[in-house]
Chain A
Amino acid sequence: MFGFGKKEEKDETQNPEYLALVAKWDSFLEKIEARFNESLAPAEEAVLDQLEEGNYDMVSNMTAWSGIKSQLLQLEDKIETTFDDKVGPQMSEYVERWNLIDQDQKGIALRESFRPKIERFEIMLEGKVAQRFYNHAIQFLNEDFHCTQCSGKLEIKKDIFRSHYVGCDYCNTTNTFTPNDKIAEIRWVVDDIAKHKALKEWDEKESARKACKSMRSLSEDEDKTELAAAYDTWEAKEKAFWTKYFTERASYVSDYKDTIAHDVEVKMNWAFYDDKKRSDLYN
C-alpha cells in the first residue's frame, strides 16, 4: 500500500538476523579494542629491549616505535574498511541507511579513542626510553678526566652536556672538555624525561582543555561566565604543566635554569593564549 518498500513495512531493527549482525559487529569491535590494549605492554617491552640491543641508538629506537605505532593505527583503518566493505552492506539488507548511523558511530568512537591513548602511551614510553638512555650515557661522565697540563683529576660538571671549559684545581690551567656523542645526546633526551615526569599535569591540562573546547559556541549577547571560568581553569592547568616540564628539564641541564619563566611564557602563547584570543569570549 502507498508504494512503501518492504524495509518500511515493519521494524527490521528487531529482525533476529539483523540483531545477529549487530552482535557480531559489537564482538568484532570488542576484539579490536582488546587487541589494541593488550598490544601496548609488549610494545613497551620491545622498544625498551631494542634500546639495549641497538647500543642505545635513539634514532633506530624511535623508528622501531614508529613501526609499532603505525601497526596500532592500522586498527583504525581496519574498523573503517570492515564497516564500509562488510558490516554496512550486510546490515543494509535489513535496515535503511539512517539506521546504520548508530552502528557506524560505534566504530568511529572506538577509532577516535586510539590516538589520545597512543599519545599518552608515547609520553610514558619515550620518557622511559630517555631515562634508560640517560642512565647509560651519564656513566661516561663518571670516568676520570685529567688536566692536559699537570694530569690532575678534573671535576667535570654533570649537568652540561656540551663542550665547556674546566679549570684545573691543581695548576689552574683551563681545559676544554668535549663530550662524546652519547653524552652530547643527553641534552635532547631530557625533554622526554621531563615530559614524562609532568604526566600528571599533562593529564590535568588535557582534561581542562577538552572541557573548555567541548562547550557550545556562544553568540555575542550570551552570558560567557561559564566559558570564561573554563578558560581560567585551562590556563592554570596549562601553565602548571609547562612550569613542571621546564623545571624538571632544568634539573638535568643547568643551561635551562635561567630561562624557565621565559620558556613557560613562550609556550603559553602558542598553546593557550592564541586559542583564547580567537574564542567566543571576544566575539
Chain B
Amino acid sequence: MEINGTTFEDYALASANAAAGMSKDDIAKVFGLELPVWEATEQQWIGKMSEFSPGGPEMQFFGEAFMKPKQGKFANVEAAADSSDKILEKYPKWSHHIKMQQHFAIADEVGIHIDFQKEYGISMTEYAQLGMHWGGIFREAMMGGDNEKMQKLSKKQDKLMKKWEDHFKEMYKDQDSGIGDDIDF
C-alpha cells in the first residue's frame, strides 16, 4: 500500500529520523514531496498505524527503523540519523542506559522533565536505540532458553536499577515531599 508514493516503511524511517532531529522540510525532500503534501501523507499514516497489531511485521519494522534510520530512501541522506552502533560507542555499558531510564523515571515522579539532549547529548532516537539494543540481548537469552544467562542478566539488571534508583532518589530527595508524610498510625 502506498500513500502519495510513500510506503509504511518510508513513514517508519521518516518517524525515526524526525525523532533524531531531522526537519520536516528535509524529510519531505527525501520523498520529493512539498511540505504540505508530506504532512497530509504523514497524517494518513498515523491513522493507518492504529490498524496494525503490536507484534505484527509493520510494527516490528517500525522498531527496526529506529535502530537503523539510515536505510531505504534515507540510505544516502546525509542528515539521516546514524544506526545504533554510533550511540553504543558513546554509551557502551548497560549501566549507561539504565542510568538514563532511572533518571527520567525518578525525576518524573517529582515533576521534573529530563531533556536527554541536554543531559546526555543524545536524541530520542538514540535513546530508543540503546533501549532496543539491551532489550534485544535480554530477549535473545530468553528465546534461547539459556536460564543461567537469563538469571545473570536479571540479577545484573536489578543491581543496576537499584544503584541508579538510589542515586537519583538521593539527588531529588528535597523535591520529594509526600502529601501524606504528616499522617501516622
Contact = CB atoms under 8 A, between A and B. Distances in A.
A78 B178 contact: yes
Given A59-B113, A75-B180, A176-B35, A82 B185 contact: yes
B108 A63 contact: yes
Given A63-B113, A71-B178, A263 B39 contact: no
Interface in B88-124: 108-113
B39 A162 contact: yes
Interface string A161-196: 011110000000000111000000001000000000
Contacts of A64: 111
B179 A28 contact: no
B179 A178 contact: no
A72 interface: yes
Point out which of A24, A71, A176, A259 has the most chain B C-beta atoms below 10 A from its C-beta: A71
Interface in A204-235: none
B76 interface: no
A66 interface: yes
Contact of A266 (B43, B50, B183, B185): B50
Contacts of B55: none
B174 interface: no
Nearest to B44: A255
Contacts of B140: none
In this complex, the interface size class of chain A, counting residues with CB under 8 Å from chain B, is 35 or more
B148 interface: no
Contacts of B184: 28, 82
Chain B, interface SS category: loop
Contact of B111 (A35, A67, A176): A67
Contact of B185 (A28, A35, A72, A267): A28
B31 to A, nearest CB: 14
B110 A266 contact: no
Contacts of A99: none
Given A67-B112, A68-B111, A163 B179 contact: no
A60 B107 CA distance: 12
B47 interface: yes
Interface string A238-279: 000000000000000001100100010011000000000000
B51 interface: yes
A138 interface: no
A39 interface: yes
B40 A164 contact: yes
Contact of B183 (A35, A63, A176): A35
Contacts of B35: 163, 176, 178
A199 interface: no
Contacts of B109: 66-67, 70
A118 interface: no
Point out which of B47, B108, B179 has the most chain A C-beta atoms below 10 A from its C-beta: B179
A35 B112 contact: no
B72 to A, nearest CB: 23
A70 B108 CA distance: 8
Given A28-B185, A78-B180, A78-B183, A176 B36 contact: yes
A128 to B, nearest CB: 18
B178 A74 contact: yes
Interface in A44-68: 59-60, 63-68
B36 A165 contact: yes
Given A82-B185, A176-B35, 5 more contacts: A24-B185, A87-B185, A176-B36, A178-B35, A256-B47
21 contacts: A25-B185, A32-B180, A35-B183, A39-B179, A60-B113, A63-B112, A66-B109, A67-B108, A67-B111, A68-B111, A70-B108, A71-B179, A74-B178, A82-B185, A87-B185, A162-B36, A163-B24, A163-B36, A163-B39, A176-B35, A266-B51
Q: Rank and list the top 9 A-B pairs by shortest CB-CB distance, nearest first.
A: A67-B111, A63-B113, A70-B109, A162-B39, A163-B36, A163-B35, A64-B111, A163-B39, A164-B36
